[in-house]
């Protein structure tokens, strides 16, 4: 049964769409870790196995792709920040010491 704060009619009555908001409550001891694995798929495209080596390999490949992408994005962002800082220093020196 899907509902929001007890209101069943607050949910899309057709029960279709792309939004979901699962809520998990975990108790994790100090020094320990927990993992929640979720795989979303259409019921007519249900995989034979939700999790397994193929899933793990694909997940790791996608994680590596994302890490590489964001590494480049962060490098560009850091270059822009450094360029702004250098320009600030040049302006400061120019305005205060000339």
Per-residue pLDDT of the chain in tens (98 residues, 90 and over written 9): 455 666 767 676 777 776 777 888 999 999 999 988 888 788 888 888 888 888 889 889 988 998 888 888 778 777 777 666 666 655 555 555 54
Any domain includes 94: yes
Report the alpha-carbon distance of residue 98 to residue 81 in Å, rounded.
Answer: 25
Residue 90 maps to a domain: yes
Q: How far apart are the C-alpha atoms of 47 and 73, rounded to whole Å?
A: 34
Contacts of 41 (CB under 8 A, 6+ apart): 47
| 43 domain residue, yes or no | no
Contact 10, 21 (CB under 8 A): no
Give tens-digit pLDDT for 47-62.
888 888 888 898 899 8
Q: Domain range spanning residue 74?
A: 66-98
The answer to whether 26 and 37 have CB atoms below 8 angstroms apart is: no
Residue 16 lies in a domain: no
Q: Compute the distance between CA of residue 70 and CA of residue 72 in angstroms, rounded to an integer.
A: 5
Q: How far apart are CA 15 and CA 9, in angstroms?
A: 11
């Amino acid at each position: 049964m899907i509902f929001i704060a007890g209101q069943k009619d607050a949910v899309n009555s057709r029960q279709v769409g792309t939004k979901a908001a699962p809520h998990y409550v975990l108790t994790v001891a100090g020094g320990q870790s927990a993992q929640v694995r979720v795989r979303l798929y259409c019921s007519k495209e249900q995989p034979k196995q939700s999790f397994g080596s193929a899933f793990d390999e694909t997940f790791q490949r996608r994680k590596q792709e994302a890490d590489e992408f964001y590494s480049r994005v962060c490098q560009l962002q850091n270059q822009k920040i450094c360029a702004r800082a250098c320009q600030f220093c040049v302006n400061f020196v120019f305005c205060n010491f000339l």
